[in-house]
Chain A
C-alpha cells in the first residue's frame, strides 16, 4: 500500500533503476488492454511519451475509436495512460522533420481534463503522419462524418439508466400538481422554448397563452418554471432567464403578473428574485437587450448574488491548471491558489445557494436567474435543492438532480466551449480542433428552432501561433464547479450523502468521454432528434449496475434536515483528488480506502441482516406465545424499518 512517493531531496540516494528494456515484454504490452464492446483498434505504434513526471518514456500507443492508450515498455518506469478520445480538445504537430534536439518531433495533445500529453516519434519517414491523421479523425468524429462513440458502443448493463429520471414522476414526488401549481405540456414540441424540457410546472392560475406572452419577454423564451417545492411550507424555487428589459426599460405586464402568481401560490408578502450576476453585469446586460426586474415588479425584492460569468470561471480554472499541471507550484502554493480565485468562486456559488435554500426553508418562494438561466442558475437551484431535499443526496437522487436541473434544462454541455465562429449567423458554436490554420467548428445555431449541427471549416484569422487560448476555452467549468460544490458539501457532512467521491469523479470523467449519451447535446429537443435514449447508453446504467462502488458506508439518512454548508474560505479546500489527479506524487491512497469502504459496506449489510433475523426470531417467539401473550410487547408491525437502523445514530446538530 506504500505509494510511489519519493519527494525528499534525496540527492544522496541513488535510484537503482535499470534501463534495460525487456523485449519480450514489449511485444505483449498492449495485450492486456480490455476494450469495450464495440471498441475497435485503429492503430498502434512505438512511441515516446514525454511524461512531465518521469521524463521521456518509451512505450507503445494504441488508438481505438474510443481511447488513446499508452503503456511504457520499461517495467521499472511503469507509466500507463488511458485517455478517452472525447477528452481531447486539440491535436497538434510538434516540431518538423528538420527540428533539432531530442524528442522534438511528435504530437501535442491538449485535453479538457486538466492535462496535456506530448509524444515524440522518430524523425525519419513521416512517422507521425498516419497516427496524427487517425487520431485527429477519431478524436473529432463529427467533423469527419463519423458517429460519436456513444452511438457505436455495444455495452450492455443490467440497469437502464435512462429510466432514472421521469419528469412527471419527479414532480409527483414533490407533491405536484396541487391547487397552486400545475403540470403543462405546452412545450411538448419545444415551441415555447427550444432549450427547455417538454414537461414544465407553472402556477395553476396561469393560462397557456399567458405563458407564450411571458416567453416573449424572457431571454430565449426561458420563462420562470418550478424547479422544486417545499412539501410543508409550499415555498417554491422557480428558475428562468433574464427579462428583456433593454436600454429603454421595457415592461411586460404579463411577466409582472406571472411573477406575482408565483408569489401568490405561497401566499407570502414578498417574492425574492435572486439574480446570480454581479449588479454591474446585470446593468451591462441591458445594452444587449437583457436586464433585471425593476420596481415595476410589486411585491418582489431583487438580490444580486455576485457570481461571475462563465468566462471569468474559465479563466480562473485555467489559472488553476497553470499552477497544478504539469508541475505543481511549490514555493508559494497557497498565495498562488488564492490568486486563481477558484475557491472564492466556489464560496460565492455556495453562499448564493445557501441564501436561496434559507429563504425557501423559511417559507418564501424564490425566482432564480442569471442571463440565460442555464449556467449559474442551474448551479444555484441544484445546490439549493441538494441542501433542502435529502432525496437528492442519495445515489439515485443525485442522478435525478443532474438529469433535471442540468441536462433537461439545457445546460450547454456540448457547446460550453463557447467559441465564437466567424460565420455571422452562427451565434454560438463549439470548437472541435485545429488542423493547420483551420479550426473545425460545429455550429449550434441558437436561432434555429432545434439545434442543427453544421460542420464548418473556418480559417482562423489572426490567431496563428497564438491558438493556445482557444484550446483552453474547451472546458465547462460551470458543471465542474457544481461538482466541486457537491464535493465540498460531502466533506463537510460526511454522513449526509449516500454516494462517495468516486461517483463525482466518475461523472466528471464521463462528462467528456463520449462513451455515454448522458452529457451529449445541449437540450432535450436535440437529444430527441438524435434518438439519444434509443441509440446510446446512459452513464447511470454503468453506475446503477454496480452501485456498491459508489456508496458511502457511513451514510445516515435524515429526511427532514436542511444542510447548510459553511461557505467560508477557512472551511473550503481544493479538491486535490480531482484537480491534481494526474500527478503521481500528489495522488492519495485511493484504492486501499475504497477497498476498506467496500468491506465496511458488507459489514453494514451483515449487521442489518442480523438485526432483521433477531427481530424475526423475536416476533416469532411472540407469535408462539399465542393470543394470550403479553400485549405490551412491540408488535412486528412497529419494528423499525431498515431506514431507522441508521437514523438512531443521527448527528445532533
Chain B
C-alpha cells in the first residue's frame, strides 16, 4: 500500500515537472483558520468532516486564480492575492489564499489521474479526479481528502501537518500623497487622538474592520490590526476616505503589506532545549530572558516564536504563503521533538 502511494506520488512529481505551472489548477487547502485536518489514517473521520464542509460550499468553484491575468485583478499594487498564488504555483506546498468562503478542504492536485493506474480503493490517499475542476457535491467519488505536497518530494504527504496558521495581525502602509494638518484632523474626527508631545502622528481607529492607523503629517499612513490582507486594504481605504471627508485631497498610493503575523498550535509539548541543540544555527533560546525559542528561518525569511506548550507564532512575512510555508517547514522539525520520553531527555545534559 505504501509503495503504490509512493509511486503515485513520484509519478505526479515527474509529471508536474513537465507541465507548465499555470496549466494545473493548484488550489490546495483552504481556510484561514486554525483547522485540524483529519489524519489520512482515519478515513471515516475525514470522510464525514469532508462531507459536512462540502455542503456549505455553495456555488464555490475552484477558482483558479493562476489563470487570471494581472490586469483583471482589481488593483495590482495592493493585490497580494495574485502574487501569493503565483508563489504557490512555484512552491505548491502551501495552502492557497482562498479566503472567499469556507470552501471544502479540497486538495485538487490537478493532474490527470486516469493514466496513473492506481485504483482509488486501494490507495490510502484519496484524491479528487483532476478532470472535475468543480467540486460539485453530487460528485459520486467524493473521496475523503488528504493533503498532498507534490512540488516538494522531500516532504512526503504523510508529514503534512494539516494545521493552518491563523493570521492575527497585518501591518500595511499607504501614501495619501498630500500634506495633512494633524491638529485639524484631531479636531474634526471623533476617532482620532493626537498628542504631539508623545508622538508626532494622529492615532485613528475604526470599528469595522477593527484597526488602528497612524497618520503622519507627511501624508503617510500605517494601518495595523487587520486579520487579512483584504481587510487591511479596506481599512486603509476607509481611513483615506475619512481624511478625504475632512477636506484633504487624499489619494491611495503604494498600498503595501509590510508585515504579517500568524499563530497556530501543534498541540504537543516541545523540548526547546533539544531544539536549540540540533538547530543552533537558527535558534536562540534564553529561558532567563524569554520563555520561547526564537527560530530565524532562512527560507522563507520568517521568525518563529516556539513555546513549550506547542504554540507557534510566525512573523515577518510579506505574504500569506510565506507563513504557511514556514509552518510546513517547521512542523516536521517540531514533530521530531514530540516524543518527550524520559529516556530522551535523560540523555540531555542538563
Chains A and B belong together in one complex: no
Interface of B toward A, CB cutoff 8 Å: none
